[in-house]
Each structure stands twice: as structure tokens, then as C-alpha cells.
Structure 1
């Protein structure tokens, strides 16, 4: 297969709790639901009408979610979430992988995200009290339950379910699903696009690490070899490991990611960022390039990858092996 210029995985991010800031990692395992530990938890308002359907919290509507900082301990067994502006210091710790036996008596809820539903298991009163206090509303923290996955809402995003949601590998087709992510297992961005977005900010703010507001899983360093937004046209990527020569990962890009008002959340204050730093509007002038959502700006691509069990690492080499031909 023809290979493009060698690129590099610069940064990897997992988001243990949906809509909270990420944990940056140097390596991470792929699963058929995205990166290991990504969006395994979700915050919800419990139903008041006796039903099981809980409303999930999202940073696109509640900017205060930007003020919670998750960390994972060195043994990868505990998830601790700090509130960055609380005085005195305030945090809560939960198991990163809760034992099913410990949750047998816990209440479960249904969580519907873009039309597909997952089961969430309530993690109890301590995390609920922590989040409810800082968000000033009734909030419960749920862990993914049931099958541990939900269907990708592909009908709205992807024209061909079979080709887009299954990855052809030597061992056969691997069905792709998600946990509490919005619409796809992965989000990919590039350094060239990051630099372009940063250049749109006022000069005194162009140092900002804007990539945190774009919330990618895989951030690719194009090393000045590709222009901004070249990823709009990526179809297939090949990732070769720097530490395991036998491992190759295939990434399929499936949808130009339309962005929401979460881009305007100020990570320092948990409020709407000043108008001249609102990336949503700054991009909308020329980045409305997804014809299915013509009024929303695009940044990055939704994607999935395999084989399950492979490990991605920062520094791995990335090649664009297939491009989408657009008229």
C-alpha cells in the first residue's frame, strides 16, 4: 500500500468520565469500544418520575464540568477526581474498574446518548455528594454496566454500517461499539490544525493549549509536512509501534467531527470564555465543511481502530495510507 510521509503520535488522551477533562497517557490499549478506560463513567441527573432513564450531563451545556480534574494512580486501580477551585481541597476516589460483585445491589439506570442506550450502575452516595455539591444539583456517578458497550449511532453519521463499523483484520471482522462517548470510539486531530486554531486567538492567548478544548484521543504530529485540516481527507491510517515491530494498528476515519459549544468552555473558570477566545465562532467562519451539518464548524475526525489488544504509544509512527477523494 502507498504510504504518506511519516507522522508521529504526539499525545494520547483518555476521558474516564464523559465530559470531564482528560488524563494524558504515554500508552494505552485499544479495545473494540475505543481506548481502554475511555468514557467508562458518566454523570447523570437521576429521573424524578420513577423511570430508569437518566439525563446525562455534558460540558456543551454545563461548563463547570471543566473544573474537575481526573487522575489515575500508578497501579491503574483508582480514579481520583479533584475540584480545581474548591477551598479547602476537595476530591473523591472510586475504583477505576469497579468489581461487578460489589455493585450487585446498586441501582441501575438507562442512559441514552444520540439515540443509542447503555446501562449505567450507580456508584453510591459518596461520589454523588461530591458532584452534587460542586455542581449545585442532584448528580449521580454511573459506571458502564450491562454488556459494557452501546451501539454507535451510525445511522446519523455513517452511510454504510457494515464497512464503517467493522474493521477488516487478519482475524476477521471486529464489530465496533462505544461506551459513553458521543458518537465514535476515537477522535483524531493534528498539530497543523491545532496551530491554525491557536493563530485565530488574540496574540496574548496564542500560547494556550487549545487542544484540551478540542478533546481528542489521538493527536498526530504532522511535522510540518501536511497542511492544517489535512485530516479532513484521511480515510485509513497505519500505525507502526516503536517498541513492538510485529504490531501494526489500522485506524479508519469515518466522519468529519462537527463541534459544539464545549469549545467555548473556559478550563480555568468553568464559565463561558471571553468572546474573542471562543473557538466555536472563530472556526465557524471557514470550517463549516461537513455537508450533513452545514452550520457547525469541523475540527478533527471520528475514527475507530484495531486490532483489539494492541497498544498505542506516543512516538509511534503514523502513515496516511488512504485518502477520501472529495469533489
Structure 2
């Protein structure tokens, strides 16, 4: 197989950046999901709401680009010209962020502490959303993974016996035994999401003949060209890259109404291309762990030794492991 597209999403749920190369880290591609937007309901005590494109479809009107260490956000309102677009530059490695106000973020029951980037950045998003918004920086405070992990059964929580607890406390042996994949940033359930062009093409066949599925709505990190039939990735358990890295695929991605969002208007889609979720529900509800959601794509984690390696568009990839049956998605509070 061949990598045809690589994507990073510096701010969760707004448009991503197509890149030619990306460095693998434990938490995902370098620069992926560093920030997220929070709606401030201006209550006492403070109530913050995680912003996702399903709930706030106009998030898709914010475009992103990366130049060196700066993220540029461009807001394009429906029907506007490029000259009318407004931009905001955000440092991808904010200085002295430890001194910023902290905010609590809880995603799917998995908590972390983030940092409020301040009024210079918040006012830009507040203006365009029409309500108070906080731009939160991850700050390298990882969230625990509560669901599918490499080598762990779908419904088995992480546990240690007495001997393992003692060994992991030792300064030399401990790091060798620790699970490197049990933390993520602002990703939903895993650091990586892999899809295939074959599966995207199948979705296009379900739409009117003059419409092709916009694969950016799947918000994948890695897009692969493969000779295998559509949805073969349901059974992939491991991918090997030409740079000797591996991605361990552990769970299926259950899809939501974000697939129906109209990226031109920033509204929930209607009509010919606004029923993608319904079209997939006919035959893609194949995971009993997400029995009400159609499955598209696989969640994954970088294998040991792969952190720091670089994936590039055009690189070859091999399926180095397969499951005899589909895995079952598990995440407390999300899975069925």
C-alpha cells in the first residue's frame, strides 16, 4: 500500500492541514490536536463545553496552515471572497504557558488540565462564533486512554499485579515495563486514525452520481491507497512502514452526524450530500461495541521504537497483522 495523504489537526474539530511528512509521537503526529476550543457559558462556577463540529458545525469555516512554528487560522464566512478572510497567528509552542490560567478539560470521562491562551486569541473565535470561546492549549498534560489499547482485551481495564507494581517503581526497569500508549492529548480515543481510499470510494457510490465523498470529513491522519477491497481495514491489526515504524490498530471508529456537515455553509447538511451517516448505517453498523453507529476507519497507536520516525506521502506500508474477526470498540460511557 502507499500513503497518499497525511493530516494533522492542530486545533481539534476545525479543519486540518494536509502535510507531506509528519513525525510520529506517542500522542499522535507532532502538532496534532495541541489545542481545542471551549464554549464559556459565563456561569458561576465556570461551565466550559467542549466544542465539536457535530455540535458547532460552523467550526468547518476555520481553515489552517502551518509555517515553521506558527499556526495560521483563516476564517472564511459563506460567500466571502479571499480578500475578506480574517486571519489569526497562533504560536504552536507558546512561551511560558505554565503561567497561563488553567482550565479543566474532560473528554469522554478522561480528564486533563489545559491552559487558557488568553484574550488575544479568544476574542478572534468569540467574534466569529457569536459566544464566548476559550482557546485551550494542551500543555503536554496527557489524558488517560480508557478504551482499546494494544494487547488489552476490549473490556479489560488496565491493572497491575503486586510484582508488576514493584518492578514499575524501579528507576531502570520501570520505564521498560510502562505502557507507552496509555496517554493521549485532545484526540478522541486514540492518537491515530487510518482510512483507505477504497472505502472512501465506496461511500461515493452511495451518493448521487455527480457527488464524491469529501474524505476530509473523516478527519483521518493517514490515508492509504490499497488494492484490497473496501473496508478490508476492519480486520487490520498492525501496519508496518518503510521507516521501520509500526502502527498498532486496536479499535474501530464509530461515526456520528459530523459526516453530514456542509463544509461550504458551515451548517448541518441537507439534501443530496447531507445523509452520509444514514447511508452508512444501512450496512456499516458492524461493531457491537458501537451498535448504533456505522464504522469507518481504524484507531491506532505507535508501536515501540516508532516514536520520532517520520512518515511521508508516497511511503510504502504493509499490513503486517490481521484479526480473524473485527475488534469490539470499548470506552466506558461511549461503547455499547
Q: Shorter chain as normaliser: what TM range?
A: 0.7 to 0.9
Contact 1:61–1:261 (CA under 8 A) maintained in structure 2: no
SS for the counterpart of 1:117 is: strand
- Whether 2:206 is the aligned partner of 1:200: answer yes
Structure 1 CA distance, aligned partners of 2:295 and 2:98?
42
Equivalent position to 2:141, from 145, 148, 171: 148
1:239 to 238, 241, 244: 241
Question: Cα deviation per residue 1:106-128 (whole Å; 9 max; x = unaligned)?
Answer: 21101100110121111111221
Provide the residue aligned with 1:183 in structure 2. Answer: 189
1:69 aligns with 2:71: no
Return the alpha-carbon distance in structure 2 between the equivalents of residues 162 and 105 of structure 1.
33
Segments of 5+ residues of structure 1 without an aligned counterpart are: 1-6, 164-170, 242-247
The more displaced of 127-136 and 80-89 is: 80-89
1:89-128 superposed matches below 5 A: 89-99=85-95, 101=96, 103-128=97-122
Match of 1:84 in 2: 76
Partner of 2:229: 227
Equivalent-residue separation in structure 2 for 1:235 and 1:284 (angstroms): 24
Which residue among 277, 282, 285 is the counterpart of 1:280? Answer: 277
TM-score by length of 2: 0.84
TM-fit CA distance, 1:155: 6.7
8 Å contact 2:148–2:250 — kept in the other structure?
no
Change (3 A) 1:220 1:155: closer
Rounded Cα–Cα distance in structure 1 between residues aligned with 2:255 and 2:48: 24
1:159 CA displacement: 3.2
- The structure-2 alpha-carbon separation of the partners of 1:52 and 1:240, relative to structure 1 and needing over 3 Å to count, comes to farther
Q: Is the 8 A contact 2:41 2:132 kept in 1?
A: no
Displaced runs of 4 or more, over 6 A: none
How far has the Cα of 1:295 moved from its partner? 1.2
Q: What is the aligned partner in structure 2 of residue 325 from structure 1?
A: 324
Gaps of 5+ in 2: 160-175, 327-336
**What is the TM-score when the length of structure 1 is the normalising length?**
0.86
User: 2:252 is matched with which residue?
Assistant: 256
1:18 aligns with 2:12: yes
Pair 1:91–1:267, CA change in 2 (3 A): same
* Aligned pairs, number: 299
Match of 2:220 in 1: 216
How many Å separate the matches in 1 of 2:142 and 2:46?
18
Q: Report if aligned partners of 1:30, 1:36 keep a CA contact under 8 Å in 2.
A: yes
Give the drift of 1:48.
3.5
Q: CA deviation at 1:173?
A: 5.8
Distance in 2 (alpha carbons) for counterparts of 1:155 and 1:218: 19
Please say if 1:28 is aligned against 2:25: no
* 1:52–1:110 Cα contact (<8 Å) kept: no
Distance, in Å, in 1 between the alignment partners of 2:237 and 2:289 is: 18
Q: Deviations over 1:164-210 (max 9, x none)?
A: xxxxxxx776512211111110100001001001111111212x5x2
Deviation at 1:138, TM superposition (A): 0.8
